[in-house]
């Protein structure tokens, strides 16, 4: 991977750009779930199903490309694996992947008309990515020992 070292900053920029794409979806998709759960008409619910599916595909593409460029960065600088802040970041990333998969679970539930009776849980679910984003960015910038 040392032959890719001159491209490290380009890979890092792409990693960040696709992370932004991924998080845009993670922030907006749960908001669609709330609107979907509260929709009273069949046409509106069907529209939300289409929107949710398309957004999930886009955010999954963002997640995959974030991972690809992250792995390229790690291949160039594998010493990151020995740093505590990076290990915490990887653990948070695993949690974020679980959250991403839970979004898919909600898409399927809402498509099957299994909406919760109250959207309160979805409103709480909607806030979870904020925690991940803040902590991951703080770790990446501050690199605490």
Q: Is 73 exposed, middle or buried (0-12, 13-18, 19+ CB in 10 A)?
A: buried
pLDDT band at 1 (very low <50, low <70, confident <90, very high): low
Quote the CA–CA distance of 76 and 144 in Å, as a whole number: 21
Q: Which domain holds residue 9?
A: 2-142
Quote the CA–CA distance of 73 and 78 in Å, as a whole number: 8
Tens-place pLDDT, residues 106-117: 999 999 988 777
pLDDT band at 80 (very low <50, low <70, confident <90, very high): very high
**Total domains present in the chain:** 1
pTM, rounded to two decimals: 0.93
């Amino acid at each position: 991977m040392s032959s890719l070292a001159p491209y490290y900053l380009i890979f890092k920029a792409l990693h960040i750009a696709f992370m932004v794409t991924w998080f845009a979806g993670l922030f907006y998709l749960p908001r669609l779930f709330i609107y979907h759960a509260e929709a009273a008409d069949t046409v509106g619910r069907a529209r939300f199903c289409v929107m949710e599916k398309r957004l999930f595909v886009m955010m999954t593409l963002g997640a995959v490309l974030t991972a690809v460029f992250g792995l390229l960065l790690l291949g160039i600088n594998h010493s990151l694996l020995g740093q505590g802040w990076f290990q915490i970041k990887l653990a948070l990333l695993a949690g974020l992947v679980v959250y991403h998969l839970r979004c898919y679970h909600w898409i399927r539930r809402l498509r099957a008309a299994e909406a919760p009776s109250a959207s309160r849980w979805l409103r709480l679910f909607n806030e979870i990515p904020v925690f991940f984003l803040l902590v991951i960015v703080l770790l990446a910038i501050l690199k605490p020992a």
